[in-house]
């Protein structure tokens, strides 16, 4: 059996997404910047996709800009907010994705901003009182806090964060890459300055994402070139990728509650089975259903003897999973998230992440293999 439990890294393409993308590749190859018929057709397709995304988010199409993915979108929000909106102070958490952390740390190291880190507890929950204290000391601050952590799944109440930021006139950006397509984001009721997403996290194609920029914020492009994306992002649009993103997002919103209930059931089932079969197993992050991303389960296992070989052993057994964030899979430094939480460094941690294409039979297979490995190497 081959089991794919690494959906937080990337998801399989939905067949309906493949269908619409293939049609665009075959029939609508024009450059959207060209003024002839082929170009106008492509431009119309891009704008239709923009309206779809904006409609689902209850935003204006003029506030949606397509990018190469979540990393570019995060960089655009951070760099251009700080350089164009008169910001000299930023706040983030030590648990953010490196697309946020490394960008802010670079700006701080170069003296562009002062950077503070809001405190988090052992479950990865942001201390909102500390956030308020930091904001009260520094007017006109940039705040970047993700909606759900990509490694441990802990959710942050971005509505509460938004309220706090409004009180202190702070600019608020949230990386919603892991929750886009899995939770509704109603931007008519969420006062936020920047929000980012990536198609391949919700059964769309890799290499395409978007940034929402609240219309009140006037910033310059991150990438210069042509006048694409209404002069906000140079480079020929990835037309079939954009169409795939919009279609994938549309499908997610149509069946979101059904998929949430189903996938939450898989996560709960795996947690129960792991507890029954592997003594001393620990779960990382906030794992209560209402406060945790339902697609992610991060576990620390007692089989310390094979800590360095666990993921390899699972791979040999036909099981694909991650040891934290897949975006750092080439790193030898381990998970910065688990380190910040004070997790036991001797116990191997594995992130299992689920999608609508997984089932309980796969979970039974994985639990059986994990049990065998832990019993063999205790």
Contacts of 290 (CB under 8 A, 6+ apart): none
Distance from chain centroid for Cα 204: 13
Residues 212-233 pLDDT 10s: 999 999 999 999 999 999 999 9
Among 165, 252, 327, 374, the active-site one is: 327
Q: Please check whether residues 178 and 315 belong to one and the same domain.
A: no
Q: Collapsing DSSP states into helix, strand and coil, what is residue 285?
A: coil
**CA 143/CA 342 separation, integer angstroms:** 24
Per the structure, the complete domain to which residue 221 belongs is given by 15-254
Backbone φ and ψ of 165, nearest 5°: -65, -40
Q: Please check whether residues 78 and 163 belong to one and the same domain.
A: yes
Q: Is 165 a catalytic residue?
A: no
Q: Collapsing DSSP states into helix, strand and coil, what is residue 319?
A: strand
CB-based burial, 326-343: b 16+ in 10 Å, e otherwise = bbbeeeeeebbbbeebeb
**CA 289/CA 267 separation, integer angstroms:** 9
Last residue of a domain, one of 210, 233, 254: 254
Q: What CATH number has the domain bearing residue 372?
A: 3.90.1150.10
**What DSSP line would sit under 232-267, residue for residue?**
TS-S---HHHHHHHHHHHHHHHHTHHHHHHHHHHHH
Q: Please check whether residues 265 and 352 belong to one and the same domain.
A: yes
Please report the pLDDT score of residue 346 as a whole number. Answer: 82
Please report the pLDDT score of residue 52 as a whole number. Answer: 98
Q: Please check whether residues 243 and 283 belong to one and the same domain.
A: no
User: Rounded mean pLDDT of the chain?
Assistant: 94
Please report the pLDDT score of residue 307 as a whole number. Answer: 72
Q: Do the beta carbons of residue 353 and residue 322 sit within 8 Å?
A: yes
| Residues with pLDDT less than 50, the chain | 325-331
Q: Please check whether residues 36 and 175 belong to one and the same domain.
A: yes
Please report the pLDDT score of residue 306 as a whole number. Answer: 76
Q: Please check whether residues 246 and 107 belong to one and the same domain.
A: yes
Q: What CATH number has the domain bearing residue 31?
A: 3.40.640.10
Please report the pLDDT score of residue 325 as a whole number. Answer: 41
Q: Please check whether residues 217 and 169 belong to one and the same domain.
A: yes
Q: Collapsing DSSP states into helix, strand and coil, what is residue 196?
A: strand
Find tokens 């960089």 and name the residue.
75
Please report the pLDDT score of residue 324 as a whole number. Answer: 53
**CA 278/CA 367 separation, integer angstroms:** 9
Count of other CB atoms within 10 angstroms of residue 157? 14
Q: Do the beta carbons of residue 327 and residue 316 sit within 8 Å?
A: no
């Amino acid at each position: 059996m081959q089991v794919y439990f690494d959906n937080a890294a990337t998801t399989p393409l939905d067949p309906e997404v493949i269908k619409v993308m293939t049609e665009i590749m075959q029939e609508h190859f024009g450059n959207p910047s060209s003024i002839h018929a082929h170009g106008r057709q492509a431009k119309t397709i891009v704008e239709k996709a923009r309206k779809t995304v904006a409609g689902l988010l209850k935003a204006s199409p003029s506030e949606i800009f397509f990018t190469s993915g979540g990393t570019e979108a995060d960089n655009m929000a951070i760099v251009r907010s700080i350089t164009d909106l008169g910001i000299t102070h930023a706040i983030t958490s030590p648990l953010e994705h490196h697309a946020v952390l490394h960008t802010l740390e670079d700006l701080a190291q170069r003296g562009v901003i002062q950077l503070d880190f809001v405190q988090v507890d052992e479950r990865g929950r942001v201390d909102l009182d500390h956030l308020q204290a930091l904001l009260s000391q520094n007017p006109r601050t940039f705040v970047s806090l993700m909606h759900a952590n990509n490694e441990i799944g802990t959710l942050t109440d971005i509505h509460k964060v938004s309220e706090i930021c409004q009180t202190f006139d702070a600019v608020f950006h949230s990386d919603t890459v892991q929750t886009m397509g899995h939770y509704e984001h109603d931007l008519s009721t969420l006062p936020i300055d920047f929000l980012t997403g990536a198609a391949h996290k919700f059964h769309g194609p890799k290499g395409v994402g978007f940034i929402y920029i609240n219309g009140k914020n006037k910033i310059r492009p991150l990438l210069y070139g042509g006048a694409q994306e209404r002069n906000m992002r140079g480079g020929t649009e990835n037309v079939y990728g954009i169409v795939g993103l919009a279609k994938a997002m549309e499908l997610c919103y149509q069946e979101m509650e059904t998929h949430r209930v189903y996938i939450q059931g898989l996560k709960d089932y795996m947690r129960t089975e792991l507890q029954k079969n592997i003594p001393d197993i620990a779960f990382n992050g906030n794992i209560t259903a209402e406060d945790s991303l339902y697609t992610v389960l991060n576990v620390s296992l007692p089989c310390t003897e094979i800590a360095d070989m666990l993921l390899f052993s699972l791979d040999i057994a036909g099981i694909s999973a991650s040891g934290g964030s897949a975006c750092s899979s080439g790193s030898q430094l381990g998970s910065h998230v688990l380190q910040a939480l004070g997790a036991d460094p001797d116990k191997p941690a594995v992130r299992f992440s689920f999608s609508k294409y997984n089932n309980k039979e796969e979970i039974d297979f994985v639990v059986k293999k994990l049990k065998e490995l832990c019993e063999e190497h205790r």
